[in-house]
Amino acid sequence: MRLYNSLTKQVEDFVPNVEGKVGMYTCGPTVYHFAHIGNLRTYIMEDVLEKLLRYVGYDVKRVMNITDVGHLSSDADTGEDKMLKGAKREHKTVMEIAKFYTDAFFSDCEKLNIKRPDVVEPATNCIPEFIHMIEVLLEKGYAYKAGDNVYFDTSKLKEYYVFGNQNEDELLVGVRDDVTEDTNKRNKNDFVLWFTKSKFEDQALKWDSPWGTGYPGWHIECSCISMKHLGEKMDIHCGGVDNIFPHHTNEIAQSEAYTGHKWCNYWFHAHHLNDETGKMSKSKGEFLTVSLLEEKGYDPLVYRLFTLQSHYRKPLVFTYEALDQAAGTYKKLKNRIGSIPAEGEADAQAVKEWHDKFAEAVGNDVNTAMGLTLVYDVLKADISGATKRAVIADFDRVLGLKLTEKTEKEAGEGGAGDISPELAAHIEEMIEKRKAAKKEKNFALADEIRAQLADEGVILEDTREGTKYHLK
Ligand code: AMP
Ligand code: ZN
């Protein structure tokens, strides 16, 4: 397998610390609100990566935290605590908010066929681990107390900007008009490890510590939770590109200061989903959630397909037109697969050859679009129906699109569900021919195809999601 590594800015051969095993960590959600489909793009891509690692034979252990304490609404240790904000908005306790939105997050993941990580650990479960790491950082001289808080001293590191590509202007902490600089800090990038007194509104949840009753800063949780379950060295750390600075930069600073050695070898960052106006947000414009897409009639797996059509390292713009196209593609693809005759046995050798082809193509830096192309190649290939189905089911271990499964809706709704596979294939072929005719402006031929199908009892209907059909 080859993977782009944000640390080296190159696509590299993937070599784990221990042969055959992968320790993988994912920054989990801050559970103060529903996830938007942008957040979920990142989780889909991480899910594909995990499934791909398993597909090529690795034994993967994946760990995810749940940020239920200490994530401030600005990444500069400024602003309001996100969890507290959610609790105030909904007149609930912070823990009620955390439970509700953690459940909502995993329910969205299930709808998108995102596997639950092997370990899911809320930050509030690990306060003793955080305190221990902060104590060691103080002992080693990497942290200092000031104004009743504990800070990480970034000037003690040989290199702080490990990802290298920060623009100094973007890094200026505390210079926005609405933010006053934290005068406790010795250096502008120092960050809080433990708060006992914040100039911001206090947390609802507090714990005793050697520095007084208080609560952890945001970054410490990922270092501690990953080490608790994966040890002091791990293979792959994932997140969205916005996590690179300051979150992942700070995670590396404190983890390597604590252990005294390199912590994580590969950094996998998924690029953002944007809307047409720019960055997606939970507060501006339409709040795009999986539930909203469902209310509008989309199968959540259509959104999964939409994200797989692009490379994870490129920004992706969400529009309903693009989603409609994905919906059309998904429907046609499932109809085609549903109409493959399944008699006989699959050819194991051929399945293995396609498996290797898929591993090679998609394994080249998680090339999901190439994985989808291979599905079409299989459909066109000169192999038996049973083999085609077996190969596509095998690919779907990574793609996660339920390509060979019929949904209850499809089974009861007509289309490929209650007509013969041969007829469904014939109709799809005619629809494709008609589409090509229309593209060439041969409308006479397009009408002829429609009329011929009507004679056969099949009625076509052109919709925004493509051409649908039903029996007379
Ligand atoms: P949060 O719940 O804010 O901690 O974010 C959860 C995950 O979503 C993190 O890995 C972020 O990097 C990622 N993320 C945030 N915004 C977007 C976006 N617009 N597109 C893709 N991923 C995002
Ligand atoms: Zn993290």
DSSP label at residue 244: I
The closest ligand to the CA of 247 turns out to be: 2
- CATH class of the region 2-270: alpha beta
Q: How far apart are CA 418 and CA 416, in angstroms?
A: 6
For ligand 2, the distance from its centroid to the CA atom of residue 449, given in whole angstroms, is 55
Of 42, 108, 247, best ligand 1 pocket probe by most atoms within 8 Å of the beta carbon: 42
pLDDT at 378: 98
Q: What are phi and psi of 461, to 5 degrees?
A: -140, 120
Nearest ligand to the CA atom of 244: 1
- Those residues with Cβ within 8 angstroms of residue 449's Cβ, 6 or more apart along the chain or in another chain: 430, 433, 434, 437
SS3 155: helix
Distance CA 95, CA 238 (A): 26
Q: What is the per-residue pLDDT for 74?
A: 58
- Please state the atom number of ligand 1 nearest to the C-alpha of residue 243: 12
pTM score, two decimals? 0.85
Query: Which one is the CATH code of 299-412: 3.40.50.261, 1.20.120.1910, 2.60.40.650, 1.10.10.60?
Result: 1.20.120.1910
Residue ranges lining ligand 1, Cβ < 6 Å:
27, 29-30, 38-39, 41-42, 239-240, 242-243, 272-273, 280
pLDDT along the chain (472 residues), means of 10: 97 98 97 95 98 98 92 61 82 89 97 98 96 98 94 96 67 42 88 80 81 92 98 98 95 98 98 90 83 97 98 97 97 94 90 98 98 98 95 98 76 52 81 90 91 86 77 74
Tell me the CA distances in angstroms from 73 to 68, 360, 453, one per residue in order: 13, 41, 58
Q: 301 and 402 in contact (C-beta within 8 Å)?
A: yes
Helix-then-strand count for the chain, H and E: 16, 16
Query: 16: helix, coil or strand?
Result: coil
The confidence score (pLDDT) of residue 158 equals 93
Cα 17 to Cα 31: distance, rounded to the nearest angstrom: 32
Residue 19 Cα to ligand 2 middle (Å): 25
Atom of ligand 1 nearest to the CA of 41: 21
Residue 72 is predicted with a pLDDT of 67
Point out the ligand nearest to the CA of residue 314.
Answer: 1
Q: Where are the alpha helices (DSSP H) in 296-420?
A: 300-308, 320-338, 348-362, 368-380, 385-399, 408-413
* Angle between the N-to-C axes of helices 37-55 and 300-308, in degrees from 0 to 180, rounded to the nearest 10: 70
Domain boundaries in the chain? Answer: 2-270, 299-412, 421-471
Cβ distance 461 to 415 under 8 Å? no
CA of 266 relative to ligand 2 center, distance in Å: 14
Q: Which atom of ligand 1 is nearest to the CA of 28?
A: 6
Q: Which ligand is nearest to the CA of 240?
A: 1
Cα distances from 131 to residues 54, 227, 388, 422, in angstroms, run 35, 14, 55, 65
pLDDT in the model for residue 75: 53
Q: What is the pLDDT of residue 320?
A: 97
Q: Which residue has the tokens 């650990």?
A: 121
- Sequence-ordered list of residues with C-beta below 8 angstroms from that of 301, at least 6 positions apart, any chain: 112, 113, 330, 401, 402
Ligand 2 center to residue 294 CA distance, Å? 29
What is the spatial distance between Cα 40 and Cα 52, in angstroms, rounded to a whole number? Answer: 18
Q: Which among 151, 160, 135 has a CA at the least distance from the CA of 77?
A: 151
Torsion of Cα atoms, 8 then 9 then 10 then 14, to 10°: 60
Ligand 2 centre and the CA of 163: distance in Å? 15
Residues in the chain: 472
How far from 126 is each of 26, 31, 123, 324, 344, CA to CA, in Å? Answer: 16, 16, 6, 44, 54
